Amino acid sequence: MDTNFFKRLEINPIIAAVNDLNKLDNAINSPCENIFLLTGNIVNLKEIVDKVRQKDKGIYIHLDLIDGISKDNWGLQYIAKNINPHGIITTKSSLINYSRELDIFAIQRLFVLDSLSLDTGIRNIKNTEPNAVEILPGIMPKIVKRVVQETRRPIITGGLIMDKEDVIGSLNSGAVAISTSNEKVWYM
Protein backbone atom coordinates (compact mmCIF):
# COMPACT_ATOMS: atom_id res chain seq x y z
CA MET A 1 0.00 0.00 0.00
CA ASP A 2 1.15 3.52 -0.78
CA THR A 3 2.46 5.14 2.39
CA ASN A 4 3.73 8.29 0.72
CA PHE A 5 0.42 9.94 -0.20
CA PHE A 6 0.35 12.04 2.96
CA LYS A 7 4.09 12.77 2.82
CA ARG A 8 3.62 14.14 -0.67
CA LEU A 9 0.70 16.27 0.61
CA GLU A 10 3.01 17.80 3.21
CA ILE A 11 5.15 19.06 0.32
CA ASN A 12 2.13 20.32 -1.64
CA PRO A 13 -1.55 19.91 -0.66
CA ILE A 14 -2.73 20.63 -4.22
CA ILE A 15 -3.50 17.50 -6.29
CA ALA A 16 -3.55 17.79 -10.07
CA ALA A 17 -6.74 16.18 -11.38
CA VAL A 18 -6.25 15.16 -15.00
CA ASN A 19 -9.49 14.83 -16.95
CA ASP A 20 -7.88 15.34 -20.38
CA LEU A 21 -4.76 13.42 -21.43
CA ASN A 22 -3.52 16.51 -23.26
CA LYS A 23 -2.93 17.99 -19.77
CA LEU A 24 -1.01 15.01 -18.39
CA ASP A 25 2.45 16.43 -19.14
CA ASN A 26 1.43 19.75 -17.57
CA ALA A 27 0.37 17.90 -14.42
CA ILE A 28 3.59 15.89 -14.32
CA ASN A 29 5.66 19.06 -14.70
CA SER A 30 3.62 21.05 -12.19
CA PRO A 31 4.59 21.43 -8.53
CA CYS A 32 1.84 18.95 -7.59
CA GLU A 33 3.22 15.78 -6.00
CA ASN A 34 0.05 13.70 -6.48
CA ILE A 35 -2.06 13.22 -9.61
CA PHE A 36 -5.65 12.00 -9.80
CA LEU A 37 -6.26 10.36 -13.18
CA LEU A 38 -9.88 10.93 -14.25
CA THR A 39 -9.56 9.65 -17.81
CA GLY A 40 -7.95 6.89 -19.82
CA ASN A 41 -8.71 3.39 -20.95
CA ILE A 42 -7.54 -0.18 -20.65
CA VAL A 43 -5.16 0.29 -23.60
CA ASN A 44 -3.28 3.42 -22.42
CA LEU A 45 -3.54 3.11 -18.63
CA LYS A 46 -0.28 1.25 -17.97
CA GLU A 47 1.70 3.71 -20.11
CA ILE A 48 0.16 6.68 -18.26
CA VAL A 49 0.88 5.24 -14.81
CA ASP A 50 4.46 4.33 -15.74
CA LYS A 51 5.05 7.84 -17.12
CA VAL A 52 3.85 9.46 -13.88
CA ARG A 53 5.80 7.03 -11.70
CA GLN A 54 9.01 7.78 -13.64
CA LYS A 55 8.69 11.40 -12.45
CA ASP A 56 8.28 10.25 -8.81
CA LYS A 57 4.72 11.55 -8.59
CA GLY A 58 1.86 9.73 -6.91
CA ILE A 59 -0.78 8.43 -9.32
CA TYR A 60 -4.30 7.55 -8.22
CA ILE A 61 -6.73 6.13 -10.78
CA HIS A 62 -10.43 6.96 -10.62
CA LEU A 63 -11.77 3.50 -11.46
CA ASP A 64 -15.28 4.71 -12.23
CA LEU A 65 -14.00 6.88 -15.10
CA ILE A 66 -11.62 4.49 -16.89
CA ASP A 67 -12.98 3.03 -20.12
CA GLY A 68 -12.74 -0.71 -20.74
CA ILE A 69 -12.21 -1.63 -17.08
CA SER A 70 -15.07 -3.27 -15.22
CA LYS A 71 -16.13 -1.34 -12.13
CA ASP A 72 -16.10 -4.47 -9.97
CA ASN A 73 -13.66 -6.59 -7.95
CA TRP A 74 -12.16 -8.11 -11.12
CA GLY A 75 -11.44 -4.68 -12.56
CA LEU A 76 -9.81 -3.57 -9.30
CA GLN A 77 -7.76 -6.76 -9.13
CA TYR A 78 -6.59 -6.23 -12.72
CA ILE A 79 -5.58 -2.62 -11.95
CA ALA A 80 -3.72 -3.62 -8.78
CA LYS A 81 -1.79 -6.49 -10.38
CA ASN A 82 -1.14 -5.17 -13.88
CA ILE A 83 -1.22 -1.37 -13.79
CA ASN A 84 0.23 -0.77 -10.30
CA PRO A 85 -0.93 2.76 -9.45
CA HIS A 86 -0.23 4.19 -6.01
CA GLY A 87 -3.95 3.94 -5.31
CA ILE A 88 -7.50 4.19 -6.56
CA ILE A 89 -10.46 6.53 -6.30
CA THR A 90 -14.05 5.30 -6.47
CA THR A 91 -17.57 6.07 -5.35
CA LYS A 92 -18.25 2.37 -4.84
CA SER A 93 -18.12 1.15 -1.23
CA SER A 94 -17.65 -2.46 -2.33
CA LEU A 95 -14.42 -1.51 -4.12
CA ILE A 96 -13.18 0.41 -1.08
CA ASN A 97 -13.73 -2.72 1.01
CA TYR A 98 -12.00 -4.97 -1.55
CA SER A 99 -9.04 -2.59 -1.82
CA ARG A 100 -8.01 -3.57 1.72
CA GLU A 101 -7.75 -7.23 0.67
CA LEU A 102 -5.50 -6.17 -2.21
CA ASP A 103 -3.51 -3.79 0.03
CA ILE A 104 -4.14 -0.82 -2.26
CA PHE A 105 -4.60 2.77 -1.08
CA ALA A 106 -8.24 3.78 -1.59
CA ILE A 107 -9.94 7.17 -1.73
CA GLN A 108 -13.72 7.20 -1.53
CA ARG A 109 -15.30 9.94 -3.62
CA LEU A 110 -18.44 11.49 -2.16
CA PHE A 111 -20.79 13.76 -4.09
CA VAL A 112 -22.75 15.92 -1.65
CA LEU A 113 -25.93 16.97 -3.42
CA ASP A 114 -28.25 17.32 -0.44
CA SER A 115 -28.57 16.34 3.23
CA LEU A 116 -29.61 12.78 2.33
CA SER A 117 -26.48 12.20 0.22
CA LEU A 118 -24.38 13.74 3.01
CA ASP A 119 -25.85 11.47 5.71
CA THR A 120 -25.61 8.39 3.49
CA GLY A 121 -22.04 9.30 2.55
CA ILE A 122 -20.96 9.71 6.18
CA ARG A 123 -22.51 6.35 7.04
CA ASN A 124 -20.71 4.68 4.10
CA ILE A 125 -17.38 6.25 5.06
CA LYS A 126 -17.73 4.99 8.63
CA ASN A 127 -18.48 1.48 7.31
CA THR A 128 -15.77 1.29 4.65
CA GLU A 129 -13.00 3.27 6.38
CA PRO A 130 -11.17 4.38 3.23
CA ASN A 131 -7.64 5.77 3.49
CA ALA A 132 -9.04 9.18 2.51
CA VAL A 133 -12.25 10.78 1.28
CA GLU A 134 -12.72 13.22 -1.58
CA ILE A 135 -15.76 15.51 -1.23
CA LEU A 136 -17.32 17.19 -4.26
CA PRO A 137 -18.06 20.01 -4.66
CA GLY A 138 -15.15 21.20 -2.57
CA ILE A 139 -16.40 24.69 -1.76
CA MET A 140 -18.53 23.80 1.26
CA PRO A 141 -16.52 24.53 4.43
CA LYS A 142 -19.36 23.66 6.84
CA ILE A 143 -19.88 20.31 5.16
CA VAL A 144 -16.15 19.54 5.16
CA LYS A 145 -15.95 20.31 8.90
CA ARG A 146 -18.89 18.02 9.61
CA VAL A 147 -17.45 15.12 7.59
CA VAL A 148 -14.04 15.54 9.26
CA GLN A 149 -15.64 15.54 12.72
CA GLU A 150 -17.97 12.61 12.11
CA THR A 151 -15.66 10.29 10.16
CA ARG A 152 -12.17 11.13 11.43
CA ARG A 153 -10.85 10.41 7.93
CA PRO A 154 -8.48 12.62 5.90
CA ILE A 155 -10.60 14.79 3.61
CA ILE A 156 -9.73 16.05 0.14
CA THR A 157 -11.94 18.66 -1.46
CA GLY A 158 -12.49 18.78 -5.20
CA GLY A 159 -14.78 20.33 -7.74
CA LEU A 160 -15.33 24.05 -8.33
CA ILE A 161 -12.01 25.01 -6.71
CA MET A 162 -11.20 28.16 -8.67
CA ASP A 163 -8.80 30.35 -6.71
CA LYS A 164 -6.60 30.84 -3.66
CA GLU A 165 -9.63 31.76 -1.53
CA ASP A 166 -11.21 28.36 -2.28
CA VAL A 167 -7.97 26.55 -1.44
CA ILE A 168 -7.53 28.40 1.87
CA GLY A 169 -11.20 27.92 2.77
CA SER A 170 -10.92 24.17 2.20
CA LEU A 171 -7.72 23.81 4.20
CA ASN A 172 -9.12 25.95 7.04
CA SER A 173 -12.21 23.76 7.19
CA GLY A 174 -10.12 20.67 7.88
CA ALA A 175 -9.27 19.31 4.43
CA VAL A 176 -5.76 17.86 4.06
CA ALA A 177 -5.68 18.54 0.31
CA ILE A 178 -7.45 19.98 -2.70
CA SER A 179 -7.85 18.19 -6.02
CA THR A 180 -8.48 20.29 -9.10
CA SER A 181 -8.25 20.21 -12.86
CA ASN A 182 -7.72 24.01 -12.83
CA GLU A 183 -4.10 24.40 -13.91
CA LYS A 184 -3.82 27.89 -12.34
CA VAL A 185 -4.48 26.34 -8.93
CA TRP A 186 -1.75 23.71 -9.48
CA TYR A 187 0.79 26.53 -9.13
CA MET A 188 -0.54 28.10 -5.92
Q: What is the mean pLDDT of the chain?
A: 97
CB 89 within 8 A of CB 59: no
- Please state, in angstroms and as integers, the Cα–Cα distance from residue 52 to each residue in 82, 116, 117, 126, 183, following that order: 15, 37, 34, 32, 17
3 confidence band (pLDDT: 50, 70, 90):
confident
Q: pLDDT (tens digit, 9 = 90+) per residue, 127-155?
A: 999 999 999 999 999 999 999 999 999 99
Domain residues for 64?
Answer: 5-186
Which secondary-structure segment (H or E) carries 183? helix 183-186
- Residue 124 sits in a domain of what CATH number? 3.20.20.70
Looking at residue 46, what is its pLDDT? Answer: 98
Q: Residues near 181 by Cβ (< 8 Å), separated by ≥ 6?
A: 16, 17, 18, 19, 20, 23, 38
Domain count, the chain: 1
Per-residue pLDDT band at 1 (split at 50, 70, 90): confident
What pTM, to 2 d.p., does this model score? Answer: 0.97
Asked if residues 134 and 89 have their Cβ atoms less than 8 Å apart, the reply is: yes
Peptide bond into 137 cis (omega under 30): yes
